[in-house]
Amino acid sequence: MLKKISKLIKPLKGKITISADKSISHRAVMFSSIAQGECIVRNFSSGADCHSTLNLFKGLGVSIEFLDDKTLKISSDGVLKVPNCVCDCGNSGTTMRLVSGILAGQDFNSVLVGDKSLSKRPMKRVIEPLSLMGANIESIDWHAPLKIFGTKLKGIDYNSKLASAQVKSCILLAGLNADGITSFTEPYVSRDHTERLFSYLGADIEAKNTTVTVKPSQLIAKDIDVVGDISSAAFFIVAGLIVKGSDFIIKNVGINPTRSGILDVVKRMGGGVEILNERVVSGEPCADLRIQYNDNLQGCVIEGSDIPRLIDELPVIAVLASQAEGETLVKNAEDLRNKESDRIKCLVNELSKIGIDIKETSDGFIVVGKNTLAQKPVKSELECYHDHRLAMSFFVAGLLCENEIAINGFEWTKISFPEFEELFAKLK
């Protein structure tokens, strides 16, 4: 699908409610499926990735029904059934990596598959620590499909070189059903949705500094309200900061400190984001955000412990940096190369086409700001490389382009954010 975008003349105004958090939606279904009892999950994500998780657990014998388009009723005795076919993860790396931790300790065998894109993404990062726990997993050069031969696992103390919520969650999920205590240590604290939801559902879990420890536990089902996704809100935050005269409110945004790095970066750059109506919903901090245009943004350095807290937002942050004074340097973000695309290379290639002064480095990129975008007609289309976050970032850039741009493959936004264009339309 080819999407054409013209410069936005009018400011963004009004109120929107952001779509459900994808990371929490995945976990709500997974954890409720291995919990005992019945629960209601409200505000479930409509994204294709989360539906891959939902369908996978239906195939494992869990009773899941929609009460309406965003409300689920999940009933489980905490015991998964032998799947009657392969477990299809679609395009979802979260599904494959987290579910591998659940299935490795079952008393049956299973196979995890994914689409062409997911089959290229690295799985060594979960296979290796699971193997140390006693798991028996076969792969093709550390890639899907994953053949998992269920067995009894043992707890481990694992030190990860990578700060990764997916790897951490995989090992903690395996630890729920392992003999002994399981601990996971990472160089920086990655997003902690698993820890929060584990605690909410009664797991014996403790987090201290960069180490999380879990003891064998049976989760008990409780109703879960999913907060809005700050990674989805990020596109609107950036748009509001760079489209002249904009002033609007985004309601129901999760502001978990392990996810809210973009708010810290915006503040560092001098942007105006006001946090309103702070509250806690099913263990997750939440608020409404007021976004106001700012024509005095300043470049900054984004590195180290910043990165796990905003890894998914870096493509649209590059767009923000293009309108800031001076240089913005992104470091220690080499894992961007292992997403749906090589997000560093692809981002630099495509944003350069519309006049953004951006250069690739081995572990990130450099943007020199105050760029006028698409001053001349863009001769080639911007490719999104089957990557939803690139597609949406290019859309935001298009709001400032002097000449019309076209994005090839815009349909990939449906993976995580089907309501993306509809919500933008509400602010025009």
- Of residues 49, 88, 229, 312, which has the active-site annotation? 312
Q: Which residues contact 140 (CB under 8 A, 6 or more apart)?
A: none
User: Which residue bears the tokens 């062409």?
Assistant: 116
The CA distance from 317 to 356, in Å, is 12
- 223 is a catalytic site residue: no
Q: Which amino acid, one-letter code, is at 250? A: I
The CA distance from 346 to 409, in Å, is 14
Q: Which long-range contacts (CB under 8 A, 24 or more apart) does 266-273 make?
A: 266/237, 266/241, 266/320, 268/300, 269/297, 269/298, 269/299, 269/300, 269/320, 269/324, 269/328, 270/294, 270/296, 270/297, 270/298, 271/241, 271/297, 271/320, 272/241, 273/237
The CA distance from 196 to 258, in Å, is 11
| Number of neighbours of residue 312 by Cβ within 10 angstroms | 23
Structure tokens at 419: 């309501």
Strands 157-159 and 205-208: unpaired
| Number of neighbours of residue 331 by Cβ within 10 angstroms | 17
**Could you give the C-alpha distances from 182 to 32, 131, 153, 217, in angstroms and in order?**
21, 14, 10, 11
| Number of neighbours of residue 98 by Cβ within 10 angstroms | 29
Closest CA to 193 of 149, 227, 232: 227
* 3-state per-residue secondary structure call for 153-215: CECCEEECCCCCHHHHHHHHHHHHCCECCEEEECCCCCCCHHHHHHHHCCCCEEEECCEEEEC
Closest CA to 119 of 139, 98, 104: 139
Active-site residue set = 312
